Structure 1
Amino acid sequence: MRFIFKTDYGQDLKLAKHGGHIFWYSGLIVALVLAPWVVSEYWLAQLNFIMIYSIVGLGLMLLAGFTGLFSIGHAAFLGVGAYTQAVLTHAGWPFPLALVFAGGLSAMVGVVVGLPALRVKGIYLGIATLAFGFIVEEIFARWESVTGGNAGMHVGLPNMFGWELDSGGEFYFLCLALTIGATLVILNLLRSPTGRAFVAIRDSEVSAQSMGIHLARYKTMSFAISAALAGIGGALYAHKLQFIAPDQFNILQSIDLLLMVVIGGLGSVHGAFLGAIFLISMPQVISLAKDYLPDAVGQAPGLQGLVYGLVLIAFVLFEPLGLYGRWLKVRTYLQTFPFYRRGMFKRQKSFQKSERLR
């Protein structure tokens, strides 16, 4: 088992806590850089989708996992970014400028949606964001002069000041660069005073306010940053599919995004990536399993929804910390064997939350 003896405050500020982090993450980056020459075009496309959903998942993880504000209409931000990117690229804007504008517009919409979070929370905030998702989907369908309505819009390849990314490898490296950049932004944000304010709000709003944290400012900021990352992911999503329609950003997409962060592990940056891998790989696993199931089961139209529901129930009941929480338990077991105790990760009741006084 690894023990880290800290001798100065600078060690707490480092992104890599020890040499093992540097070795494994460097190896992962090297493997991802070599992927276009190692894997097939199909699996490269799946990696693209994993990175796109990881960017969106990082934003939703910041909102739900670190600030404690749940959004059931997050696909609307994905759609705002996608349609903004499509409209601006059709107007001749270069990809980087359109991407910045897509993220910025999504952030401004996130500020508007975040305003109800100042007065409501819990299930009521979820209902407010759900209503927002329905409104945005209806706008996409009705505003035909801009969005094309239910007929959808075609989106061209990314054009960076005359350089068109017309190969799968070029677009892959674009997604990889943006994913690494988004991850570094979130990691640095979480170790800043702003990130610690988010966590304080998640743990106890009353305690955070008593320490001088401005709830309205930080809640709105969390919504804006989360929406901006969703907008950037939506812009990449539009370029990857090269066609977008309103039904791609409906309530089912929002539920998939929320499912992604819950199963990945709320409150962990790793959970956003593990959840994205789950979200992209599960349909492939289900399609492979259909060949071995009876026709009455394998050809049932609601099979995928049934499997997702069962998996979510299983995680909520038996592994509330998600895939990353399960990995922490496995790692601790291997490090402490044979001295591992079954109750080491047992959840304890908290009697210190100031909300109990109200």
Structure 2
Amino acid sequence: MRVIFRKSYVQDIQLFRDRGQAFWYLLFAAIALAAPLFLDGYFLDELSFVFIYAIAGLGLMVLTGFSGQVSFGQAAFVAIGAYTHTILLTRYSVPWLLSLPIAALVAGLVGLAVGRICGKMHGLYLAIATLSIAIVTERLIGGAGDFTGGHRGLSVPEINILGLAIDESWKVYLLNFVIFVGCILIVRNLTRTRSGRAMIAIRDSEVSARALGTNVAFFKAYAFFISAVFAGLAGGLLAHAFFYITPETFGMGESIRLLLMIVVGGIGTIHGAVFGAFFIVLLPTVLSWVKIVLPSAVATSGGFDSLAFGLILLGFILFEPDGLYGRWTKIHHYFNVFPMYKKRSFQRQKTFLKTERLR
């Protein structure tokens, strides 16, 4: 198992591990800000989707990766954020800068209620409960036709901030990037606080966390709240990216895509949400290329994409449980310590604290 040693507590909680890491992150930010100068509208739109899905992934990472609560209902909170934001803009003429935070807060409050109800559930029972919430939310939105537009859907207006129309790909891209960076900083700081450490303690061993005085019920509900806020924020941005939303846009398949995103990216890490977002946005394009070489009967079958998602998820769980970021970490470590690298550096270790008996 690879261990990063710290020399002081301050070093453990600082934002960047060292100056080298800070340099690379700042370089990435500079390249991202300059991207509109050398990328066309199509690629900027694709990167905007990456940033939006990464925001939703960060929320699910807090819930599943940091507090250990599996959720198949994340798309429900994305839908609540998208519909709340759209309705506030179109029917109540609420300013964009006020509408988006309200939508995120509404989704967060719903998530808090779900967290209080499902706080004592674990494993399969929690997964089924959150899945049922996603199904119920989709049905409620579809049934409230007079308010939500029902299955006809709602048209989403363009972004307008203080009279400035964000109507070009590069403007939307920069807006999504700024919000994305802000969300990363929030989650990174959360992991350094008492609340973040309490969530991680609950994930590793709920019994041990409770024995140390951690309010398990509170922090589980708090994780649901934070996760739903990020999902609602992503939902509001996603509504503008789609231009038109329907209940089916945020169905069960979207929840599975979000869970697939963090598992493939690397569960339990902030980088995993970003890696997973790139993967989930690029995957449909890759599948379209695969369909070209497959027999037409297979390529045109309705369940091909779902089958591909399931096989990819199963493959990562069985053969690369640390995800894409875990693989990147192993490659980076290999070149850092070459020729002293040993395969057992990343051997997974099981301890009695993680057995089902003590959870």
TM-score, normalization: structure 2? 0.95
Deviation, 1:5, is 8.2
C-alpha distance in structure 1 between counterparts of 2:7 and 2:350, whole Å: 33
State the Cα deviation string for residues 95-142 of structure 1 (Å, max 9, x = none).
110011001100100011112232211111111111111111111101
Q: Which amino acid aligns with 1:324?
A: Y
Deviation, 1:339, is 2.1
Percentage of pairs with the same residue: 43
C-alpha distance in structure 2 between counterparts of 1:220 and 1:352, whole Å: 23
C-alpha distance in structure 2 between counterparts of 1:52 and 1:5, whole Å: 34
1:291 matched residue in structure 2: 292
2:316 matched residue in structure 1: 315
Asked if the contact 1:206/1:354 (under 8 Å) is kept, the reply is no
1:36 and 2:36 correspond: yes
1:195 and 2:196 correspond: yes
C-alpha distance in structure 2 between counterparts of 1:247 and 1:352, whole Å: 41
1:64 matched residue in structure 2: 64
Q: Which range moves more in the overlay, 55-64 or 208-217?
A: 208-217
Report SS of the residue matched to 1:266. Answer: coil
Asked if the contact 1:116/1:128 (under 8 Å) is kept, the reply is no
1:171 matched residue in structure 2: 172
> Where do 5+ consecutive residues of structure 2 fail to align?
none
1:19 and 2:19 correspond: yes
Report SS of the residue matched to 1:349. Answer: coil
2:226 matched residue in structure 1: 225
C-alpha distance in structure 1 between counterparts of 2:87 and 2:100, whole Å: 11
Asked if the contact 2:54/2:180 (under 8 Å) is kept, the reply is yes
RMSD of the alignment, in Å? Answer: 1.7
Deviation, 1:282, is 0.8
Deviation, 1:331, is 1.1
Report SS of the residue matched to 2:308. Answer: helix
State the Cα deviation string for residues 34-87 of structure 1 (Å, max 9, x = none).
111211111111000000000000000000000001111110000000000100
TM-score, normalization: structure 1? 0.95
C-alpha distance in structure 1 between counterparts of 2:350 and 2:12, whole Å: 28
> Where do 5+ consecutive residues of structure 1 fail to align?
none
1:356 and 2:328 correspond: no
Q: Which range moves more in the overlay, 309-318 or 265-274?
A: 309-318
Asked if the contact 1:66/1:267 (under 8 Å) is kept, the reply is yes
C-alpha distance in structure 2 between counterparts of 1:30 and 1:175, whole Å: 15
Deviation, 1:354, is 7.5
2:270 matched residue in structure 1: 269
Asked if the contact 1:107/1:225 (under 8 Å) is kept, the reply is yes
How does 1:36-55 map onto structure 2 within 5 Å?
36-55=36-55
Deviation, 1:9, is 3.4
Asked if the contact 2:205/2:353 (under 8 Å) is kept, the reply is no
The number of equivalent residue pairs is 356
C-alpha distance in structure 2 between counterparts of 1:63 and 1:5, whole Å: 27
Deviation, 1:190, is 0.5
How does 1:1-358 map onto structure 2 within 5 Å?
8-90=8-90, 91-353=92-354, 356=357
C-alpha distance in structure 2 between counterparts of 1:352 and 1:311, whole Å: 29
Q: Which amino acid aligns with 1:10?
A: V
Asked if the contact 1:133/1:251 (under 8 Å) is kept, the reply is yes
